Each structure stands twice: as C-alpha cells, then as structure tokens.
C-alpha cells in the first residue's frame, strides 16, 4: 500500500480509456470515493472526468454529499440553513478561489447528476440517505 498527494484531476493509475473502449477494463480503480467535497472543487466536472478515466469498467464511484433538495425553498429548514451558512463561509469561497462553479453544500441531486454525467458517467442514482448526507452511486 502507498499513499500519494495529488489533486482531484491528476492522481495516478494506468489510463484505461483505451481498454474500456475495447471492452477490457481490467486496470484502474474498483472504487473512487468523494466524501463531502465534490461541491467544493474548483473543477468538479474535471474531477468526475478523471475518476471516469481511472475507474475500471465495472467500477463504482461513491459520492457522499450534504443532504440537499434541488429547490432552495425545500432546504429552508434548521439543518438546511446551517448547511447554507457553512457553504457561504467555506464551500463557495473554496470553489471560487479556483474559478469554479461554486456549487455549494446545497448543490442538490440534479446538479450532482449533471456534474458526473458531464464527466462521462451514464448511471447515477441515490443509493441511500440520512438526515445529514446523501450517498450517490455512479457507474460508467
């Protein structure tokens, strides 16, 4: 086992794009996980694209994001208000610092789906949720 420091768009593993096109897909990661971070990134689509390129053909991406509905008015509850406050102070400025889209902690399922589909993924579904988080399962 080894650990490396890399950005969300340049971590290493053999590039399997050619293998996937040939239907091989034996190299790459079985699982790529984003824990409460995809909405913060300066280039979330770039991160999704990179994960797609580094994932085995039958691999899975797990995305854990703060619980958020797609419509602002559906998030105006005590927890949603806390998430919006945190998002204003941390998530949005972090993304903007890298000229990102500033999705924020209340990005919602529709926006997260758009991000991963723009990265090349076809299958996106909500796998489970708690009062605080939503877990998405994403597959090529």
Answer yes or no: is 44 within a domain: yes
In a domain, 20, yes or no: no
Residue 15 is assigned to a structural domain of this protein: no
1 domain-assigned: no
> For the domain that residue 90 is a member of, what is the CATH number?
3.40.50.150
Structural domain contains residue 35: yes
pTM of the model: 0.87
Give me the number of domains the chain comprises. 1
Q: Kindly give the confidence (pLDDT) of every residue in the chain, 140 residues in length, as a single tens digit, with 9 standing for 90 and above.
A: 566 778 888 887 754 555 555 444 567 889 999 999 999 999 999 999 999 998 999 999 999 999 999 999 999 999 999 999 999 999 999 999 999 999 988 999 999 999 999 999 999 999 999 999 999 999 99
Beta-sheet pairing, 55-66 with 29-35: parallel
- Is residue 88 situated within a structural domain? yes
Provide the domain limits for residue 93. 31-139
Residue 9 lies in a domain: no
């Amino acid at each position: 086992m080894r650990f490396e420091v890399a950005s969300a768009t340049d971590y290493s593993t053999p590039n399997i794009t050619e293998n996937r096109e040939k239907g091989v897909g034996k190299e790459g990661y079985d699982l790529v996980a984003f824990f409460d971070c995809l909405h913060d990134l300066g280039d979330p689509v770039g991160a999704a694209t990179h994960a797609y390129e580094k994932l085995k053909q039958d691999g899975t991406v797990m995305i854990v994001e703060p619980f958020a509905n797609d419509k602002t008015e559906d998030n105006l509850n005590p927890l949603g208000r806390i998430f919006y406050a945190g998002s204003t102070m941390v998530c949005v400025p972090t993304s903007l610092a890298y000229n990102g889209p500033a999705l924020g902690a209340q990005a919602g399922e529709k926006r997260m789906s758009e991000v991963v589909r723009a990265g090349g993924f076809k299958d996106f579904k909500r796998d489970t949720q708690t009062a605080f988080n939503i877990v998405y399962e994403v597959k090529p």
